[in-house]
């Protein structure tokens, strides 16, 4: 399980780029250290479906990308985001069995992260 403290988070929905993205970064500058981007196209087309890209993708700080991979659900409680990943997805993004991300108190709005994940992952949170 990969662990890091999220000190910078950003959510973007861009109709022109056809994308919704949540970025969770270890450093406050967002450019250094570990990072996880969770992206999803706003509108899927037949080519997306044919290529298996009609879902969200996970991208790490070195650009390694995998489509899908979150096993069944995710949780966010008391400032800790837990994403359990399929073995193949975890190997691609270098996350062991998944990711446990601590949202830095006072820096990250837990509700913004929760609502972005619900939309982008299109999966219910496990309570």
Instruction: Compute the residue count for the chain.
Output: 127
pTM for this model (two decimals):
0.90
Q: What pLDDT digit, counting tens, does each position of 11-47 carry? A: 999 999 989 999 999 999 998 999 999 999 888 788 8
Q: What pLDDT digit, counting tens, does each position of 52-107 carry? A: 777 899 999 999 999 999 986 799 999 999 999 999 999 999 998 899 999 999 99
Nearest partner of 54 among 90, 13, 18, 87, judged by Cα: 18
Question: Is residue 58 in some structural domain?
Answer: yes
Total domains in the chain come to 1
Question: Is residue 126 in some structural domain?
Answer: no
Cα–Cα distance measured from residue 116 to residue 94, given in angstroms and rounded to the nearest whole number: 23
Structural domain that includes position 65? 2-120
Question: Is residue 14 in some structural domain?
Answer: yes
H or E segment and range at residue 47 = helix 46-50
Question: Is residue 125 in some structural domain?
Answer: no
Cα–Cα distance measured from residue 62 to residue 64, given in angstroms and rounded to the nearest whole number: 6
């Amino acid at each position: 399980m990969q662990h890091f403290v999220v000190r910078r988070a950003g959510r973007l929905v861009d109709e022109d780029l056809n994308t919704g993205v949540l970025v969770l970064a270890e450093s406050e500058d967002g450019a250094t250290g570990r990072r996880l981007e969770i992206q999803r196209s706003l509108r899927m087309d037949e080519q997306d479906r044919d290529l298996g890209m009609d879902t969200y993708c996970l991208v790490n700080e070195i650009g390694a990308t995998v489509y899908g991979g979150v096993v069944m659900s995710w949780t966010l409680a008391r400032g800790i985001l837990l994403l359990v990943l399929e073995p193949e997805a975890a190997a691609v993004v270098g996350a062991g069995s998944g990711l446990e991300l601590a949202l830095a108190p006072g820096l990250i709005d837990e509700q913004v992260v929760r609502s972005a994940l619900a939309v982008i992952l299109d999966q219910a949170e496990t309570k």
